[in-house]
Amino acid sequence: MKEGVVRVAILASGSGTNAERLIQAVQTSAEAEVVVLGTNRSQAGAVERAERRGVACWTFSKGELEQGEVTRRLLDMQVDFVALAGFLLKVPQGLVDEFPGRMLNLHPSLLPAFGGKGMYGHHVHRAVHEALQKGAIEETGITLHWVDSGYDTGLTFFQASAPLSMKDTTHSIAEKIQVLENAHYAKQTLRAIRESLSLPGKTLD
User: Counting Cβ atoms within 10 Å, is residue 169 exposed (0-12), middle (13-18) or buried (19+)?
Assistant: exposed
Look at strands 81-84 and 6-12 and give their pairing. parallel
Give the pLDDT of residue 3: 59
Q: Which of 131, 142, 114, 143 is nearest to 168 (CA)?
A: 131
Query: Among residues 107, 125, 129, 184, which one is catalytic?
Result: 107
With a cut of 70, list the residues of the chain below it in pLDDT.
1-3, 197-205
- Check if 125 is active-site: no
CA distance 122 to 134: 18
Give the pLDDT of residue 198: 67
Give the pLDDT of residue 199: 53
User: Counting Cβ atoms within 10 Å, is residue 158 exposed (0-12), middle (13-18) or buried (19+)?
Assistant: middle
Alpha-carbon dihedral sign for residues 51, 190, 115, 75: positive
CA distance 54 to 65: 24
Contact 105, 154 (CB under 8 A): yes
Give the pLDDT of residue 6: 93
Contact 13, 89 (CB under 8 A): yes
Give the pLDDT of residue 2: 56
Long-range contacts of 30-33 (CB under 8 A, 24+ apart): 30/5, 31/5, 31/6, 31/193, 31/194, 31/197, 31/204, 32/5, 32/6, 32/7, 32/8, 32/81, 32/190, 32/193, 32/194, 33/2, 33/5, 33/6, 33/7, 33/8
Contact 13, 5 (CB under 8 A): no
pTM: 0.91
Give the pLDDT of residue 203: 39
Question: Which domains, from first to last, does the chain contain?
Answer: 6-196 (3.40.50.170)
